[in-house]
Amino acid sequence: MQKLSKEDIAFIDTYLKNSDIVFSDIRIEMVDHVASEIESIINEGDNRDFYYIFKDYMVKNKVDLLKDNHKYYKACDKKILRALVKNVFSIKAVFILITTFLSLFFLNKFLELNLFFQVLRALPFVVFLLFAGVYRFIGRNKNMRFSSIERIAIYFILIGQIINLYFQGLIFRKMVLSEQSLQITIVTSFLIFSLVLLMQVFFQFKKEYHLKYKSVL
């Protein structure tokens, strides 16, 4: 059974990269798929040069192949959600949640109420900025981008919007903070907990991709 050469594989990869398939994990999957299809065509008796077989294949299948890009994003979302659910029910997650809540609860005892409210409002954004810094200086790879890792940022942004709306709502309704401090502490604890879980998933995926694709990193 005839196999494509490394040069042919590299040609497919470059073509897909130039077609805006920017995420390396998605592109590698597509390269494998296209290479397998072309090898099947060759082994069925097509004796033309690789370039012409590839060109005809892409003319027929490029649109559908690029549309399939969306199914990879859906798979990424499912993968992230599965990892989050798995982490939520871990002993480490329970420890993080309890520690976060108790830290904020006792902080409330030592800080003046308005200052405590400002701290609660700022903490989730501190965690958010921490993740942004970690991704900027540690998580990003100049040569390879991974879809699941970058889509985690969407969840961070979503939680950031929820945080903003929640605290803006408190200010708008002019809630009596002394009567709502426990509720605010609980909600903030869960928001920070969600961000920490996302950071855990980020590092898990980073390690997974490094092991899986280290030969091409």
Which tokens belong to 120? 């609660």
Q: For the segment 136-167, what is each residue's pLDDT rounded down to a tens digit?
A: 666 555 567 788 888 888 888 888 778 777 77
What are residue 23's DSSP bridge partners?
Answer: 145
pLDDT of 1 above 70: no
Which residue has tokens 């897909």?
A: 16
Structure tokens at 1: 């059974």
pTM for this entry: 0.73
State the pLDDT at residue 172.
53
Number of residues that make up the chain: 217
Q: What are 56's two structure tokens? A: 């005809």
Q: How many CB atoms lie within 10 A of CB 125?
A: 14
pLDDT averaged over every residue in the chain: 81
Cα separation, 157 vs 124, in Å, equals: 11
Tell the residue number behind the tokens 């409330």, with chain if given. Answer: 108
Query: Per-residue pLDDT for 97 more than 70?
Result: yes
- 145 and 213 in contact (C-beta within 8 Å)? no
pLDDT of residue 98: 92
Taking only the tens place, the pLDDT of each residue in 170-201 is 655 555 555 577 787 888 888 888 888 888 88
Residue 26 structure tokens: 């998605």
pLDDT tier, 12 (very low <50, low <70, confident <90, very high otherwise): very high
pLDDT at 167: 74
